[in-house]
Structure 1
Amino acid sequence: MKQFNVPTGYRSGLISDIKNRRKEQDKLKKDFTPTLLDLGPIQIYLARHFGFCYGVENAIEIAFRTIEENPGKRIFLLSEMIHNPKVNEDLQQQGVQFLQDTYGKQLIPFETLTADDVVIIPAFGTTLQIEAMLREKGIPTEHYNTTCPFVEKVWNRSEQIAKKGYSIVVHGKPQHEETRATFSHASHHTPTVVVNDMTEAVELSKYITGEQPAAQFYEAFRGRYSQGFDIEKDMQRIGVVNQTTQLASDTQAISDYLKSVYIKKYQLTAANIAERFADTRDTLCYATNDNQTAVQGMLETPADLAIVIGGYNSSNTSHLVELCEAVLPTYFIDAAEKLISKETLLNRNWRTKEQFTVTGYLPDKEPLRILMTSGASCPDAVVESVIDRLASLYDVAI
């Protein structure tokens, strides 16, 4: 796999050694057991796969190269390049300005942009409308586009099945940058609708089967469907694609469920299911899948708690927290400083986004067994700093 040139401050000698050793021992990535760091009074089990993925490293390399290549120019990002506070703060300190927040709220008016400005498209991609607006202003989008190749793969697959007459169901968080971008690209080619979860997929199925009156669809899914969408005509043939940072198992479950709906409604078999339902399993992101599978493997190790590290508005990191907290006490932090002391920790609720202090998060036992992973946009250096902090709380060295 390509090696990217990212700032050395994001790297970790400790984590690199661990990852390189696991890579040599497990070239086919078949072993999802965690790596043990035995520090005596605490034992830290690191997930088999965690941290920067291909798309994130690609985005970071392009962004910092853009800064180097354009001295004296105004440089903007459409929104956060990735969902990690450290990386975004570093870019801002280099003079990069954000045009929108992560939910699409305008921070700097597009009207202020000129052809002399540089605009970086984030790893999540952007809408066709914004791309067209930038081109009209004379701002090239292809030179400074950090869109993840696996996000683009979803767009390309959507276009392919659209040409075969399928409509698109996008499994994603409706307000997420990537979902908004994928919706824009898919709906340019074919009728498209967004579902957030299985509950909404089940609700959508009731309009597909006619169990719910068609007229109610337009209110129930307001803001989630493409212009001119006709629930009675446009859902006769579909394919399901996803926001790549969703739980892969959730996307597969939604796809399998909707597939069963079509099999029942149209009396289909394995031989003719493609007449109504497109196979889109090849759009699931490898890194998201690897990290989630690694967490599932890690959770087979008996432990006292889990710590998940990453940006608080990172979708892929939140799903790692979701997997862990279903099994054992789990704490979501974005920096070592959130480990205030041996007694208190500043935790984040991934659902409500509430941040609160937890007392007694480290059980009084020895050895204490901790599972640890990080999101795809979290630098390894941050993971090492968390390990260092835990070690210091127990007066041990790494």
Structure 2
Amino acid sequence: MKTFNVPVIYRSPLITAIKNKRKQQDRMKKDFTPTVLDFGPLKILLARHFGFCYGVENAIEIAFRTVDENPGKRIFLLSEMIHNPHVNNDLLSRGVQFLMDTSGKQLVPWTELQPDDIVIVPAFGTTLEIEKQLEQLGIEPLKYNTTCPFVERVWNKAEQIGQKDYTVIVHGKPKHEETRATFSHSKANTATVVVKDMKEAILLGEFISGQRPAAEFATVFAGQSSPGFDATKDLQRVGVVNQTTMLATETQAIADYIKDVMVATFGLTEATISERFADTRDTLCYATNDNQSAVTGMLLEPADLAVVVGGYNSSNTSHLVELCEEKLPTYFVSDPEQLVSKSAVHHYDFHHKEEKYTENFLPEKEQVTILLTSGASCPDALVEGVIRKLLSFYQLEHLADELAIA
């Protein structure tokens, strides 16, 4: 796989050595057991896969190269390039400005842009409407494009089934930049509706089966369906794609549920299912799959708690937290500084969108075992920082250097 020129501040010699060793031992990526870092009173089980993915490294390389190659020019990002505050703040410190926040609220008016300004498309991609807006301002919309190839793959799949008269069902968070972009590209080709979870998928199923009157559709899926969506005719043939960072098991469950509803409603058989339900297969990216599978493998090991590192508004990271929370106490932190002491931690509750302060998060016992992973937009340097911070609570930080040398 291609390697990228990512700033050294995001790298970690310790984590790189661990990842390289695991890659040599398991080139086919079939072993999802964690890496065991046994420091005596502290044992850390490090997930098999975590950290920067292909799309994130590609975006970082393009963005930083663009800044380096265009001194004196005004450079804008449509919104956060990735959902990690450290990377975004580094770009802001180099003079880059955000045109919008993550919800799409305008921060810099379009009227302030000039034809010679540079606008970088973030890794999530952007909408066709914004591309058109930039063109009207005389700015080539995709000249500095960091859209993840796996996001574009979803757009291509939606277009392919749309051209065959299937309606596209997008499993994603309606307000997320990637889902907004996917929705925009899909509705240009076919009727499209977004469902954020199984609850909404069940509601959609009721429209497919006729249990709910079609007249209610516009209200139930307001802001989540393409203009003129007709539940009577647009739910006759469907296919499911997703926001690439969603929980894989949930996407599969939603696709299976919609498929079962189609079978029951239209009396389909295995031979005729494709007449009504498109074979989209899984559109999750490889990194999302690998990271979630690694957490599943990690959770098979006995442990006292889990620490997940990443940006608080990172969808893929929140799903790793969600998986860990099903098994044991889990602390979602954005950087090592939130680990205050052996008895206190600042962490994020993504369910209620608030930061919490918890005391006595590390149990008093002979050996504490911690599961550790990070999101796809989290620099490895932060994961090493968390390891060092945890070791410092036991006066063992020097062991991280010895491990790196080994």
TM range (shorter): over 0.9
Name the CA distance, whole Å, in 1 between partners of 2:333 and 2:367: 22
The number of residues matched between the two structures is 398
SS class of match (1:340)? strand
Name the CA distance, whole Å, in 1 between partners of 2:270 and 2:111: 53
Correspondence list, 1:109-120, <5 A: 109-120=109-120
Corresponding letter in the other structure for 2:49? H
Name the CA distance, whole Å, in 1 between partners of 2:92 and 2:247: 30
Name the CA distance, whole Å, in 2 between partners of 1:264 and 1:94: 57
Name the CA distance, whole Å, in 2 between partners of 1:310 and 1:194: 26
Shift of 1:39: 1.3
Name the CA distance, whole Å, in 2 between partners of 1:287 and 1:143: 26
Q: Does 1:99 align with 2:128?
A: no
Aligned to 2:403: none
Aligned to 1:350: 350
Aligned to 2:123: 123
Corresponding letter in the other structure for 2:113? L
Aligned to 1:218: 218
Name the CA distance, whole Å, in 2 between partners of 1:357 and 1:61: 35
Name the CA distance, whole Å, in 2 between partners of 1:111 and 1:351: 37
Unaligned runs of 5+ in 2: 401-406
Shift of 1:353: 1.4
Moved more, 282-291 or 306-315: 282-291
Deviations 1:48-91 (A, max 9, x none): 00000000000000000110111100000000000000000000
Correspondence list, 1:61-76, <5 A: 61-76=61-76
Name the CA distance, whole Å, in 1 between partners of 2:284 and 2:9: 30
Name the CA distance, whole Å, in 1 between partners of 2:107 and 2:246: 27
Aligned to 2:12: 12
Name the CA distance, whole Å, in 2 between partners of 1:222 and 1:75: 35
Corresponding letter in the other structure for 2:238? I
Moved over 6 A (4+): none
SS class of match (1:60)? helix
Aligned to 2:341: 341
RMSD: 0.7
SS class of match (1:15)? helix
Deviations 1:204-232 (A, max 9, x none): 11011110111111111111100111010
Name the CA distance, whole Å, in 2 between partners of 1:85 and 1:343: 26
Corresponding letter in the other structure for 2:289? N
Aligned to 1:81: 81
Correspondence list, 1:258-337, <5 A: 258-337=258-337
Deviations 1:267-287 (A, max 9, x none): 111111110000111422111
Is this contact kept in 1: 2:246–2:284, CA < 8 A? no
Aligned to 2:21: 21
SS class of match (1:90)? helix
Corresponding letter in the other structure for 1:2? K
Aligned to 2:234: 234
Name the CA distance, whole Å, in 2 between partners of 1:389 and 1:143: 41
Corresponding letter in the other structure for 2:164? K
How high is the sequence identity, in percent, across the aligned residues? 65
Corresponding letter in the other structure for 2:222? R
Shift of 1:166: 0.4
